[in-house]
Chain A
Amino acid sequence: MSTIVIGLSLSFLLFLLAAGLTLIFGMLGVINFAHGALYMLGAYVCFQIVNWTGSFWIGLLVAPLVVAALGGAMEIAALKPVYERDHIYQLLLTFGFILVIEEAVKIVWGLDYKQVPTPDLFSQPVALFGSQIPSYRLFIIGFGATVSLALFLLLERSRLGMVIRAASSDADMAQSLGIDVAKVRTAVFALGAGLAALGGVVAAPLVPIELGMGFSVIIDCFVVVIIGGLGNIRGAILAALLLGMARAAGFTYAPEWVELITFVLLIATLMTRPAGLFSRKGRAA
């Protein structure tokens, strides 16, 4: 039972990150290497807010908004000027973001590990089907499912979602219909950054907050995005479930094989369905 709970909570955490990454890729055509750094920044900002206010819930609400605003500013100030150039410049720039964010975090918070306590509401384990389950894990599952559903509704049912989908698939055509695609790009980058930060906030009570925390997660997150199909948000959720559950099962039954499982899944996908395990016909991205 606890394997399933851990697997599901890991899946939703991965999905929050992968969703942002795949949205940004779909819209900008660029892999955002700084995604892990934004995740880390989300955790640090949450730590700071908890320090000031004593409330994890304020952190959960405010930290993603702060990082989203920062993401929007980064897109306008740095990415926008290089869209006309080759993709490699945008990739390099997102690498640059990592360095800037890491240095800024060092200056503001130093090198010590930080911690965010588990919110009181979810600090006690609960008994479920005969096992003791950390209730914060259950919160992650419920919250993650809610955010995923909201994101799905935003993209598939709302006007903004329609605009994002249109601009992602054919920016020039969208522009000639009067849509300011430059603004849509900024909004999508901000949304993706906010989702990364949300992942960082949700993870904050579970892991030590430190400079390298983004790195270990982002690798899994790339794997999810590739298995799900670049730019494919439905694929990302299925891939996150697959990888999250596989990893949790691995931790329980074969801990030394966990890293291998991840890459076996990745390689198997690339060999059989390079456009992603869940790609629709004729739509690789």
Chain B
Amino acid sequence: MSALALENCDVFYGKAQALHHVSIDVGRAEVVSLIGRNGAGKSTLLKAAMGLNAVRSGRRMFDDRDVTALKPHELGRLGIAFVPENRRIFPNLTVEENLRIATVMGRTGPWTLERIYELFPRLEERASQGGDTLSGGEQQMLALSRGLLTNPEVLLLDEPTEGLAPLIVDHLVEAIRVINAEGIAILLVEQNLKVPLKLARRQFVIDNGRVVWSGTTAELQANRARIETLISV
């Protein structure tokens, strides 16, 4: 049973094809990572999963149901959450509003504002500040928390550790473990192997808009030298 899958997807920006027959799947409560160098098509794939990029041919599946035709807000309501690269915090909303906006659609579940504040006390301290006043690490916590408050089945994480200090990265990795332990499937995008090796069970490598390798984490370890060349700049 897969929670989310793209099957043979083609995605275009205008006339330029960004993804070629891409297939990727995330099982229920599984952590899967998607690794590739800058410009490989990772963000494009996540946006296609969220419905923000149109899938020209191929299918988007959710809980083994064809959801290719659904719009982003419908996919959000089904249980897909997107934590984008650059965080995309709403600058004209307070920190707390940035969290409450995720609850407007009314998906309830284990994640509540109280629990978020338990996990990231810093966000509670800054609740009434503007979203644009946070540090990079705080912004990432806020973006992740906003996604969590939709109580998703699948969380799409685009380079969550990019640009963060090592200590904050460790904190975030711990948080992702906690989140996954509660049964949320995670599709983790990264440019390097460090965090994927810690968190994911299966790995996909993407280059030039094509999935060029996939396997378990143990298989990746065995082929590490080859994989490194696929993702190095």
Contacts and interface: CB of A to CB of B under 8 A. Distances in A.
Contacts, number: 74
Most buried by A among B73, B93, B97, B102: B73
A181 B52 CA distance: 13
Interface string B193-205: 0000000000000
Contacts of B92: 165-166, 168-169, 283
A66 interface: no
A174 interface: yes
B122 to A, nearest CB: 21
Given A159-B104, A176-B82, A177-B146, A165 B73 contact: no
Question: Would you call the interface of chain A mostly helix, strand, loop, or mixed?
Answer: helix
Contact of B101 (A163, A181, A283): A163
A170 interface: yes
A33 to B, nearest CB: 26
A283 B82 CA distance: 24
Nearest to B71: A175
Contact of B90 (A159, A169, A175, A178): A169
A173 B76 CA distance: 10
A180 B88 contact: no
Contacts of B71: 175
B100 interface: yes
Interface residues of A, number: 20
Interface string B73-114: 101110011101000101111000100111011010000000
A180 B92 CA distance: 19
Contact of B72 (A163, A165, A172): A172
A282 interface: yes
B100 A175 contact: no
A170 B88 CA distance: 8
B50 interface: yes
Nearest to A179: B73
B52 A176 contact: yes
Closest A-B pairs by Cβ, 3 of them: A178-B105, A178-B76, A175-B72
